[in-house]
């Protein structure tokens, strides 16, 4: 055989996250490595976007976590669409939970690290042939211009994805099951649909989430639709038609950024090593990308394989100079194959739970019931996070070998004693709000501020939301902290596109930073826009009506909808309406209409959420001193005071105390209710005269 054009220790095919992490690890250990990649330039598309705890640790260990920039929490996680708090795997883990990071950004950072360590990536080259050559393996690569090169190495690794050429060329045996279900997926700009987390609707499953750039990722499946072989990706028309069938919403006018379809074909190679050829990531196991496990599994495979190859090639792992043989490489297969197999099983189970029609509902119900137990939750969360499960953790503890996590017990973390769900519920039962969390919208001032102060005084960690008045919000936080309470400010203007998404990004980040998880116990929808006085019904413009509805009705609805994934069972939702829904004031008709809508949120969600023990109530203030200059004018106050049966205007704390009652354990038997907190305004004027 003619001398190759290049000879090295390890050839890696595929410059995705697995290939780049592996190449960097090898180079760092002094192993010569070359990467071959068929794409001419790194892709800017992000197939995956979620990092789990074990992956975060691997990146931190390599000193590159910080280079990914500020990562936002990816919400609580799910199992087949059933809420699963991934921090349950190990609440004390420094990266507990899941984190959002576009795959393109991860690849850029891993690529930069590999480059700094001297790794060469040969782009625009496709592997076309493979042959054994003594103690070497020979790879033929062809460039786009048709020229071929011969590369040789002691080992070849296929990190070239689910359609792996290396797997084909090396003749790996595979087992698996063919596709039965398919999901359409698209990133679409210029559409405004509500965020949804794996919402199972009558005809199918839909999920939507807004990216920071304003485009929206939608995924949709119509129950019963069989997977079909596809030569090309779907077009927007097909995705939009299915989306409309399932959700009733139109997205066909949007601009597609990325479109694809994926199915639940399952496949795993029987051996991760065949002589001098090894596989890692999707090349070794193909699965439906449900729950963001594929990327994490791939990175974890690559890290394990890197260690094995370093041990093999440098003799490290045995005595100095010791010939360790192939044992590390066989060890790689023995360690990672069962983990991959287990992941495929859990992913198939999730596919059935998520994309099965109404016939899977009883299984979902039972599983959700089991998942309310700490041990079951910890078991599933550990499997997905790549961490030792509770069984192993307990075993370690018995051995005394590890200060392993005890997901069923509170662990002190960075000065915070974090309780498990069960314990937090216990605290609510005791009548205090210790270890609970609350979001009060519009709590920079007025009734919202008084509510935030009161809930914090009762022990809740409060997210103080505001739109523009940052100073006032910080003052609310400072007032809470002065009294030993805990709070943080979150900005988001409501009533504008992307509002609720922005609110929850800040909320989840704030909660995660302080408690390690994004879980909410209490939601108070208080923020509200009002109309100027003295506008006759004839003068209300369509624009004004739209603005009021956007802030006062649409936003609270979407906030409730979005909060469902964060709210703990047994939680509380309190919507602030107004006595004006029962008391005619023609100048306020538009405002009152929006508040009427808010009361409908209460009515219907109370029924909807009762099975989770979540109460939903309306509190309707009358005229309440919110600190506005109007309340500095004695004559005005006197006139307003006459509306209350008690002959005074309300104080913000009068309303806050009612909210606090509904939020407390004492309010547990009240749901779907309209609570008048107007000082008897609806009874008629004080002294009998209006």
Helix/strand/coil for 192: coil
When the beta carbons of 408 and 499 are compared against ligand NAP, the nearer one is 499
**Alpha carbon distance 678, 675 (integer Å):** 9
When the beta carbons of 191 and 529 are compared against ligand NAP, the nearer one is 529
132, two tokens: 């054994």
**Alpha carbon distance 544, 589 (integer Å):** 12
Considering the complex, what minimum distance in angstroms separates the CB of residue 535 from ligand NAP? 16
Which single residue brings its beta carbon nearest to ligand NAP? 446
Q: How many CA atoms lie within 13 A of 104 on its CB side?
A: 7
64, two tokens: 């590159």
Phi and psi torsions of 356, nearest 5°: -70, 155
Considering the complex, what minimum distance in angstroms separates the CB of residue 554 from ligand NAP? 11
10 Å CB burial of residue 522 (0-12, 13-18, 19+) is buried
Considering the complex, what minimum distance in angstroms separates the CB of residue 495 from ligand NAP? 5
Considering the complex, what minimum distance in angstroms separates the CB of residue 181 from ligand NAP? 41
Considering the complex, what minimum distance in angstroms separates the CB of residue 423 from ligand NAP? 32
**Alpha carbon distance 309, 112 (integer Å):** 22
When the beta carbons of 265 and 530 are compared against ligand NAP, the nearer one is 530
**Residues found in the chain:** 690
Residue 57, H or E segment: helix 53-61
Considering the complex, what minimum distance in angstroms separates the CB of residue 94 from ligand NAP? 34
Binding site for ligand NAP (CB under 6 A): 442-448, 466-469, 472, 493-495, 526-530, 551, 576, 578, 621, 623-624, 626
When the beta carbons of 6 and 472 are compared against ligand NAP, the nearer one is 472
Q: What angle do CA 243, 245, 246 make, to 5 degrees?
A: 65
Considering the complex, what minimum distance in angstroms separates the CB of residue 543 from ligand NAP? 14
When the beta carbons of 316 and 547 are compared against ligand NAP, the nearer one is 547
β-sheet bridge partners, residue 189: 255
Considering the complex, what minimum distance in angstroms separates the CB of residue 477 from ligand NAP? 13
What does DSSP assign to residue 253?
Answer: T
When the beta carbons of 400 and 629 are compared against ligand NAP, the nearer one is 629
Considering the complex, what minimum distance in angstroms separates the CB of residue 460 from ligand NAP? 18
Work out the widest C-alpha separation in the chain, in whole angstroms.
109
When the beta carbons of 232 and 533 are compared against ligand NAP, the nearer one is 533
Q: Tell me the C-alpha to C-alpha distance, in Å, between residue 549 and each of 173, 243, 499, 542, 594.
A: 60, 26, 14, 11, 6
**Alpha carbon distance 551, 574 (integer Å):** 16
Considering the complex, what minimum distance in angstroms separates the CB of residue 254 from ligand NAP? 25
**Alpha carbon distance 169, 192 (integer Å):** 46
When the beta carbons of 404 and 503 are compared against ligand NAP, the nearer one is 503
When the beta carbons of 249 and 493 are compared against ligand NAP, the nearer one is 493
The neighbour count for residue 365, using CB atoms within 10 Å, is 12
When the beta carbons of 176 and 627 are compared against ligand NAP, the nearer one is 627
**Alpha carbon distance 357, 553 (integer Å):** 32
């Amino acid at each position: 055989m003619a001398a190759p054009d290049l000879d090295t220790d390890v050839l890696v095919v595929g410059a995705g996250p697995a290939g780049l992490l592996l190449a960097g690890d090898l180079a760092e250990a002094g192993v010569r490595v070359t990467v071959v990649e068929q794409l001419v330039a790194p892709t800017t598309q992000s197939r995956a976007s979620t990092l789990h705890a074990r992956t975060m640790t691997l990146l931190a260990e390599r000193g590159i976590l910080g280079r990914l920039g500020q990562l936002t929490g990816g919400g609580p996680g799910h199992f087949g669409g059933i809420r699963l708090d991934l921090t349950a795997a190990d609440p004390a883990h420094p990266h507990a939970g899941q984190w959002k990071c576009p795959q393109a950004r991860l690849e850029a950072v891993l690529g930069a690290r590999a480059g700094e360590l001297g790794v060469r990536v040969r782009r625009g080259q496709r592997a076309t042939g493979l042959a054994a050559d003594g103690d070497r393996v020979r790879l033929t690569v062809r460039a786009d211009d048709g020229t071929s090169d011969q590369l040789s190495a002691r080992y070849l690794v296929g990190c070239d994805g689910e359609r792996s050429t290396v797997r084909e060329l090396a003749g790996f045996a595979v087992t698996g099951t063919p596709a039965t279900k398919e999901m359409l997926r698209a990133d679409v700009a210029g559409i405004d649909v509500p965020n949804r987390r794996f919402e199972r609707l009558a005809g199918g499953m839909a999920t939507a989430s807004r990216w920071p750039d304003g485009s929206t990722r939608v995924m949709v499946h119509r129950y019963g639709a069989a997977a079909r072989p596809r030569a090309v990706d779907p077009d927007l028309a097909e995705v939009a038609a299915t989306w409309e069938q399932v959700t009733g919403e139109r997205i066909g006018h949007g601009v597609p950024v990325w479109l694809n379809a994926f199915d639940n074909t399952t496949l795993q190679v029987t051996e991760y090593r065949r002589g001098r050829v090894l596989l890692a990531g999707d090349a070794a196991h193909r699965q439906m990308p449900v729950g963001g496990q594929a990327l994490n599994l791939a990175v974890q495979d690559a890290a394990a394989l890197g260690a094995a190859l370093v041990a093999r090639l440098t003799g490290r792992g045995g005595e100095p100079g010791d010939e360790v043989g192939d044992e590390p490489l066989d060890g790689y297969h023995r360690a990672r194959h069962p983990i991959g197999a287990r992941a495929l099983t859990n992913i198939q189970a999730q596919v059935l739970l998520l994309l099965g029609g109404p016939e899977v509902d009883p299984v979902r119900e039972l599983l959700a019931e089991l998942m309310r137990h700490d041990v079951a939750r910890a078991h599933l969360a550990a499997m997905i996070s790549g961490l030792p499960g509770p069984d192993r953790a307990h075993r370690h503890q018995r051995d005394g070998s590890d200060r392993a996590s005890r997901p069923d017990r509170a662990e002190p973390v960075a000065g915070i004693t974090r309780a498990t769900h069960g314990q937090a519920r216990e605290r609510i039962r005791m009548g205090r709000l210790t270890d609970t969390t609350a979001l009060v919208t519009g709590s920079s001032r007025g009734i919202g501020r008084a509510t935030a102060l009161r809930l914090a005084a009762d022990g809740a960690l409060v997210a103080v939301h505001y739109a523009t008045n940052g100073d006032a919000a910080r003052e609310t936080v400072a007032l809470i902290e002065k009294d030993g309470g805990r709070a943080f400010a979150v900005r988001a203007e409501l009533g504008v596109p992307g509002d609720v998404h922005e609110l929850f990004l800040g909320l989840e980040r704030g909660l995660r930073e302080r408690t390690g998880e994004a879980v909410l116990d209490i939601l108070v929808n208080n923020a509200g826009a009002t109309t100027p006085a003295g506008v006759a019904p004839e003068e209300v413009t369509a624009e004004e009506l739209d603005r009021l509805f956007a802030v006062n009705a649409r936003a609270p609805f979407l906030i409730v909808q979005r909060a469902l994934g964060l709210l703990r069972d047994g939680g509380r939702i309190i919507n602030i309406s107004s006595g004006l829904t029962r008391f005619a004031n023609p100048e306020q008709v538009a405002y009152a209409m929006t508040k009427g809508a808010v009361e409908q949120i209460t009515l219907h969600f109370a029924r909807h959420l009762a099975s989770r023990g979540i109460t939903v109530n309306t509190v309707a203030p009358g005229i309440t001193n919110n600190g506005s200059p109007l309340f500095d004018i004695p004559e005005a106050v006197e006139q307003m005071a006459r509306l209350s049966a008690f002959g005074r205007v309300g104080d913000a704390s009068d309303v806050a105390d009612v909210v606090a009652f509904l939020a407390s354990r004492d309010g547990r038997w009240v749901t779907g209710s309209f609570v008048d907190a107007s000082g008897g305004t609806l009874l008629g004027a004080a002294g009998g005269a209006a």
